[in-house]
């Protein structure tokens, strides 16, 4: 009787201690297997767990790595009569904060709940869940001692646990109404709706003002955070999603939350995204997508890595805001308080979730974000007020500011107009100086010149419209060696407007100065065409070279002999000269030999080109404006320039060699982008220029015939000379063929030392073979042998001007200067010959003569 009384007293005391809610967080027993029977923890494989979470005991257990891990957690608790009285109008309810993964729950060995599905040694369906709330049938609950048995299974690498609490709500047995209130998260729903509304608002704001990208990032931050709160609420379980799919979606959303905030701060304070933000966003996107396709164990490790990376993102965000504060950004001052609260609450939740610090995850981030949103609202409100105040201030002083600005603009416009008048005055005076220089002067019956000039720069000064630019055309008539020539120049000076006009002015003055000297001084009139061109070019080069490269000019300088139509010219980086003959246009140059006049350090010999014009030929010399034509626009609106210089040949052919039609044609294909000058030269003479022939015909016979060849082979030159003399007196010898025989006769005459005859004959036929350098060399040789050294030098220098690398002429000219006792000049020419053929016997012979002269003088 006494014993029974003692038991009743103990039970009563125990009941009093176990009043509702009944704490289920302590005094558990755990074993590494499932025990679905009425087995109690009285075997050695059971270990005591002082307090949840169960994971603390799992760490001490051993599991077969080839099988799914299983445990049984067992606990007893007491229910008193007062507890039954308290729930008369309610019901008992079990609350477990979180179980992972597959589970079964037994109360007094009766199954009351389960989650997931286990098929032998494989988890078929996950069952982990937050806030498991199970109403308890009164018939199962006993007065006095009761037991709760939880069977849990999980794969290796994932959680195998029962949490002690979730959101500060512990594991317990309480009234059903109390536990049911856990699902009534009205504050959470209000906050997530607020965040979603804020996100949508800023998203719409971004659509209206796309230049403010920070609105987009802030909108995504708010929307993703509201979506994350949905996943963390009990509302998500009403969707009936598979727990693993639900977790993947939750991780995908939460991974982006901090990076959207990082992008927002970066763009808000810097106006752009840093490389770190871009790289981080790419990395987050990668792991967010990756975790959708891996196991839950690996997904958990990815989550842990992301949680640690959040700390880095927080520190970077703190750095961005701190720097903005340091730079005295007013918006940063107002944002920093809300951001710090957000950071503190976020760090608290992350550390609580990871278990790195023994604190509970209280889900404070929702309140931190609310504070942050209010901080942003204050920032935006202040920004609006600043703009509003600026607008009001602007409206108040608008009239005054408009008047001040108008006066400033009027003063500026007046100043610009004054400068414009001064500039146009300078243009006008320069154009007046250029006008008399750029002219076609001199009249010729056989050489016809036509010109066209269009300068790009047009201006008006005192009602007079004029043009100014760097293109120039000059022509005149001069006499050289008793023959009349038409001299011309077409130049294109570098630079636009005044700079180009300055170059053209210098060219015109110097060139006309050379012409006037030639017309007035006999020593200039006695020069050969080649020497005159060479000296003129060198004089221009010396003048322009003094500008130290700041003034360059491309030119074509030429002489046209009126009687023969022979053209002598030099081209210094000017567009190639075009010949229109028999309906076909072609370039008479094929390579660049001289750089622009004024180029410093110009090396090499100046080569004078010779070209025979025929009756009705048309020669076109023009500046690069003929090619620099805008033919259209590309897709981006940029000008498309003509880049094919051969197009000009087609235009000349289309115009039939007529200048006016050519200009009209150029105007129809596009717009000029540069100054344009074109000079057309035609020759109306009747001089017949003869070309080289290998064989000749006369009176039905071929020359050279067998008889003549035999004379030459045997060295019977006198007989050969007599033979040619007889052929030339033949009655059927025509005037076109005779010069060829005279040419051969002159050659034989030189070989037979009939130098007077050779000189007379070559002088007579030279106009027919005006481009034959070999014939000129023979004439010079004949003069040298005839002791007329001065004439020999003059003709040989003409050959050297045409062909500076003619080896035999260089040897001949060296001998001429040696005979004229101009030894230094002779040595220089020998050096040039030696560079061409250093081992030639004549070079060695003359070199030895010079050495002997040097030795004799010593």
Do 778 and 762 touch, CB atoms closer than 8 A? Answer: yes
Within 8 A by CB and 6+ apart from 138, the residues are 84, 91, 92
Nearest to 826 by CA among 835, 813, 839, 838: 813
The CATH topology of domain 696-857 is 1.25.40
Kindly report the CA angle at 493 between 488 and 496, in degrees rounded to 5? 140
Domain 444-623+675-683 has CATH 2.30.180.10: no
How many residues does the structure list for the chain?
Answer: 858
pLDDT at 735 over 80: no
State the Cα torsion 347-351-354-357 to the nearest 10°: 170
**Residue 63 Cα to chain centre, angstroms:** 62
C-alpha–C-alpha distance, residues 746 and 392, integer Å:
104
C-alpha–C-alpha distance, residues 302 and 158, integer Å:
12
* Helix (H), strand (E) at residue 85: helix 81-86
Helices within 655-788 (DSSP H only):
659-669, 706-714, 717-728, 738-751, 755-765, 773-785
Sign of CA dihedral 453, 457, 460, 461: negative
As a whole number of Å, the end-to-end CA separation of the chain is 160
Show me where the domains of the chain are located. 2-179, 186-392, 444-623+675-683, 696-857
Do 310 and 346 touch, CB atoms closer than 8 A? Answer: yes
CA-to-CA separations, 684 to 446, 449, 451, 610, 616, in angstroms, rounded:
5, 11, 17, 18, 6
At the fourth CATH level, the homologous superfamily of domain 2-179 is Galactose-binding domain-like (2.60.120.260)
> What architecture (CATH level 2) is domain 186-392?
Up-down Bundle (1.20)
Nearest to 351 by CA among 308, 316, 314, 313: 308
Nearest to 742 by CA among 770, 721, 714: 721
Q: List the structure tokens of 637.
A: 């609106």
If you search the block for the tokens 């993947």, which residue do you land on? Answer: 248
Predicted pLDDT at 2? 38
Q: pTM of the prediction? A: 0.56
Cis peptide before 21 (omega within 30 of 0): yes
C-alpha–C-alpha distance, residues 267 and 221, integer Å:
13
Give the chain's mean pLDDT: 84
Most distant CA atoms of the chain, gap in Å: 179
Q: What is the DSSP string of 134-148?
A: EEE-TTT--SEEEEE
Question: Which residues, in sequence order, are bridge partners of residue 485?
Answer: 478, 561
pLDDT at 9 over 50: no
- Check if 186-392 and 696-857 are the same fold: no
Question: Which residues, in sequence order, are bridge partners of residue 70?
Answer: 153
117: left (phi over 0), alpha (psi -120 to 50) or beta: beta
Question: Of 67-81, 349-363, 378-392, which range is least confident?
Answer: 349-363
* Helix (H), strand (E) at residue 193: helix 186-208
Q: List the structure tokens of 769.
A: 């073979």
State the Cα torsion 160-165-169-170 to the nearest 10°: 100
The pLDDT tens digits of the residues spanning 494-534 come to 877 777 888 888 988 999 999 999 988 988 888 999 999 99
Q: By percentage, how much of the chain surpasses pLDDT 70?
A: 94
The pLDDT tens digits of the residues spanning 790-804 come to 999 999 999 998 888
* Residue 165: φ, ψ to 5°: -155, 165
DSSP class of 551:
-
pLDDT at 808 over 80: yes
Q: List the structure tokens of 500.
A: 């180009």
Q: List the structure tokens of 405.
A: 């600005």
The pLDDT tens digits of the residues spanning 431-450 come to 777 777 887 887 788 899 99
- For every residue of 808-823, which 3-state class applies, written as one string? HHHHHHHHHHHHCCCH
Within 8 A by CB and 6+ apart from 58, the residues are 30, 69, 71, 160, 161
* Residue 118: φ, ψ to 5°: -115, 125
Do 518 and 525 touch, CB atoms closer than 8 A? Answer: yes
The pLDDT tens digits of the residues spanning 750-793 come to 888 899 998 998 888 888 888 888 989 999 999 999 999 999 99
pLDDT band per the 50, 70, 90 thresholds, residue 4: very low
């Amino acid at each position: 009787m006494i014993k029974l009384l003692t038991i009743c007293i103990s039970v009563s005391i125990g009941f009093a201690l176990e009043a509702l809610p009944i704490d289920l967080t302590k005094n558990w027993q755990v074993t590494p297997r499932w025990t679905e029977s009425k087995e109690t923890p009285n075997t050695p494989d059971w270990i005591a767990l002082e307090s949840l979470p169960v994971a603390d005991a799992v760490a001490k257990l051993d599991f077969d790595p080839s099988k799914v891990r299983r445990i049984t957690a067992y606990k007893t608790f007491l229910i008193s009569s007062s507890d039954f009285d308290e729930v008369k109008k309610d019901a008992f309810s079990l609350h477990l904060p979180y179980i992972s993964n597959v589970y079964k729950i037994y109360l007094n060995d009766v199954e009351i709940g389960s989650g997931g599905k286990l098929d032998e040694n494989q988890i078929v369906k996950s069952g982990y869940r937050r806030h498991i709330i199970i109403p308890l049938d009164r018939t199962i609950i006993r007065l006095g001692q009761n037991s709760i048995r939880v069977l849990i299974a999980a794969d290796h690498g994932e959680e195998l646990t029962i949490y002690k609490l979730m959101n500060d709500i512990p594991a317990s047995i309480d009234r059903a109404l109390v536990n049911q209130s856990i699902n009534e998260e009205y504050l959470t729903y209000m906050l997530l709706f607020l965040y979603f509304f804020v996100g949508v608002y800023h998203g719409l704001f971004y659509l209206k003002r796309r230049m403010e990208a920070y609105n987009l990032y802030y909108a995504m931050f708010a929307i993703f955070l509201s979506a994350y709160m949905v996943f963390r609420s009990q509302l998500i379980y009403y969707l009936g999603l598979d727990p693993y799919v639900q977790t993947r979606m939750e991780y995908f959303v939460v991974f982006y939350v901090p990076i959207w905030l990082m992008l927002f701060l970066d763009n808000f304070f810097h106006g752009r995204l840093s490389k770190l933000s871009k790289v981080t966003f790419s990395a987050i996107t990668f792991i967010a997508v990756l975790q959708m396709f891996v196991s839950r164990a690996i997904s958990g490790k990815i989550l842990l890595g992301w949680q640690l990376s959040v700390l880095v993102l927080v520190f970077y965000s703190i750095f961005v805001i701190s720097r903005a504060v340091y730079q005295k950004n007013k918006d940063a001052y107002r944002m920093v308080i809300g951001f710090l609260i957000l950071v503190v609450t976020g760090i608290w939740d992350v550390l609580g979730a990871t278990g790195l610090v023994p604190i509970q995850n209280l889900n404070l981030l929702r309140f931190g974000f609310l504070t942050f949103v209010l901080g942003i609202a204050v920032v935006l409100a202040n920004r609006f007020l600043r703009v509003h105040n600026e607008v009001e201030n602007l409206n108040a002083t608008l009239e005054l500011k408009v008047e001040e600005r108008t006066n400033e603009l009027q003063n500026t416009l007046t100043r610009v107009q004054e400068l414009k008048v001064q500039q146009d005055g300078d243009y006008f005076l320069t154009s007046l100086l250029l006008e008399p220089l750029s002219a076609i002067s001199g009249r010729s019956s056989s050489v016809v010149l036509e010109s066209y000039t269009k300068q790009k720069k047009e201006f008006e000064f005192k009602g007079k419209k004029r043009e100014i630019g760097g293109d120039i055309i000059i022509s005149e008539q001069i006499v050289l060696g008793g023959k009349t020539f038409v001299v011309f120049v077409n130049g294109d000076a570098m630079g636009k407007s005044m700079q180009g006009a300055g170059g053209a002015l210098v060219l015109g003055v110097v060139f006309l100065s050379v012409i006037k000297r030639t017309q007035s001084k006999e020593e200039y009139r006695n020069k050969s065409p080649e020497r005159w061109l060479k000296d003129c070019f060198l004089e221009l080069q010396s003048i322009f070279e003094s500008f130290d490269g700041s003034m360059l000019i491309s030119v074509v300088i030429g002489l046209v002999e009126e009687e023969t139509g022979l053209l002598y010219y030099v081209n210094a980086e000017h567009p190639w000269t075009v010949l229109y003959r028999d309906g076909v246009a072609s370039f008479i140059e094929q390579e660049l030999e001289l750089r622009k006049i004024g180029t410093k350090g110009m090396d090499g010999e100046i080569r004078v080109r010779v070209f025979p014009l025929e009756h009705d030929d048309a020669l076109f010399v023009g500046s690069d404006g003929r090619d620099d034509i805008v033919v259209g626009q590309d897709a981006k609106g940029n000008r498309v320039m003509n880049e094919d210089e051969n197009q000009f040949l087609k235009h000349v052919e289309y115009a039939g060699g007529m200048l006016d039609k050519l200009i009209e044609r150029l105007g129809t294909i596009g717009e000029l982008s540069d100054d344009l000058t074109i000079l057309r030269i035609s020759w109306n003479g009747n001089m017949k220029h003869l070309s080289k022939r290998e064989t000749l015909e006369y009176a039905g016979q071929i020359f050279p015939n067998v008889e003549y060849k035999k004379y030459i082979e045997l060295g019977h030159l006198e007989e050969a000379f007599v033979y040619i003399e007889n052929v030339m007196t033949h009655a059927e010898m025509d005037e076109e063929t005779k010069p060829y025989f005279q040419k051969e006769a002159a050659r034989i005459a030189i070989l037979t030392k009939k130098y007077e005859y050779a000189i007379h004959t070559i002088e007579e036929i030279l106009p027919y073979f005006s481009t034959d350098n070999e014939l000129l060399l023979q004439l010079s040789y004949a003069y040298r042998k005839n002791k007329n050294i001065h004439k020999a030098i003059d003709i040989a220098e003409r050959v050297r001007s045409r062909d500076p690398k003619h080896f035999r002429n260089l040897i001949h000219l060296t001998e001429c200067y040696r005979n004229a006792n101009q030894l230094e000049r002779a040595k220089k020419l020998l050096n040039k010959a030696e560079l061409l053929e250093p081992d030639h016997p004549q070079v060695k012979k003359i070199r030895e003569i010079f050495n002997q002269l040097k030795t004799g003088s010593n």
